[in-house]
Amino acid sequence: MSGKQLYGAGIWHFATYVDRYATDGYGPPRGLIEMIDLAGQVDDLSVVDINYPFADKSVSLDDVEEALKRNGLSVIGITPEIYTQQFAKGAFTNPDPGIRRLANEMINDAANVVRRFGASYVKLWPGQDGWDYPFQVDHQELWNASMEGVGDLASENSDLKFVIEYKPREPRVHMSYDSVARTLLGIEKIGLPNVGILLDFGHSLYGGESPADAAQLAIDYGRLFGMDVNDNFRAWDDDLMAGSVHPIELFEFFYTLRKNNWEGVWQLDQFPFREDCVAVANGAIDFLKQVDRALDKLDFDAMQAAQKNHDAVTALKLAQEALYTSY
């Protein structure tokens, strides 16, 4: 790659969390400014993805800009919260046209925040768009609404990129944008150049995909606009530290990006419920640096020769030697 690799994180990495068991939370709530200050303590973290609208209505864009500046951070993306209570039946696919309009207005507001901070994209994670039961929805109508909602926004904001972060399930049992293939089908049907994919490594894993294969497919269509990394045990979206469970598959994912000369921020999407959030971010970035060094060390010609012959033993040996000697 050209220049120094940049590392980023979703600002939610520095929040505290609740779940359906610890309903009182895993720590005192943190505001956005405190989260930005924690992000600033992470070594080599350059950019953050920020949720919008801000939970604390008293926090202004100027406040956020000042906090980012004192911590040496910039914004890569703005993620509109189109998955909260009012969108429980969907954002783009909600049966209430008023809620669909609200989603459009919120995302257009988020687009203006992207412009304000000079960010790279509006990130769309339509987590409530989908269905839970057989016969609950008309699948043709739901899918068309999913594409129409994104297409309208991309047309209204042709100067900005919109990235769709797909996920197989949660909070809906079945999400509309649930896989790389389905998301690409939708994007190609929308037919606009400013709509792409943000590939979340963990979502790809627990959706039964090979993240490297998913990345290649998105790259082949010119639609890989961003990426998040984390890890899980394939059964759920655990959002563990990157490289903690599937280091070889994560290395193959980054090998695919390097092989295709894909350049962009290596972004963390992790939820350290019980761990120190700064330590978790530092640990993950340390591993990503190891991956970067291993890619420099890897014999790409030998790897491609092994792959041409489907020689799994040689290919794995090359990958393991590069990765595990690059600490």
Query: What are 217-240's pLDDT values in tens digits?
Result: 999 999 999 999 999 999 999 999
CB-facing half-sphere around the CA of 30: CA atoms within 13 A: 18
Q: State yes or no: pLDDT of 1 exceeds 60.
A: no
What mean pLDDT do residues 281-292 have? 98
**pLDDT value, residue 327:** 86
3 has pLDDT over 90: no
User: Mean pLDDT in the chain?
Assistant: 97
CA separation for the pair 33, 68 (Å, rounded): 9
**Confidence band of 255 (pLDDT split at 50, 70, 90):** very high
Question: pLDDT tens, 122-169?
Answer: 999 999 999 999 999 999 999 999 999 999 999 999 999 999 999 999
pTM of the model: 0.97
Percent of the chain at pLDDT above 70?
99
Q: What is the pLDDT of residue 326?
A: 93
Helix (H) or strand (E) holding 249: helix 247-259
Residue 42 pLDDT? 98
The token duo for 142 is 């739901």
In the predicted model, is pLDDT for residue 325 greater than 70? Answer: yes
Average pLDDT over residues 8-22: 96
Q: At 120, is the secondary structure helix, strand, or coil?
A: coil
Q: Give the type of residue at 29.
A: P
> CATH second-level architecture of 7-295?
Alpha-Beta Barrel (3.20)
Identify the pLDDT of residue 279: 98
Quote helix, strand, coil % in the chain, to nearest 5: 45, 15, 40
Query: For residue range 56-110, what is the model confidence (pLDDT) as tens digits?
Result: 999 999 999 999 999 999 999 999 999 999 999 999 999 999 999 999 999 999 9
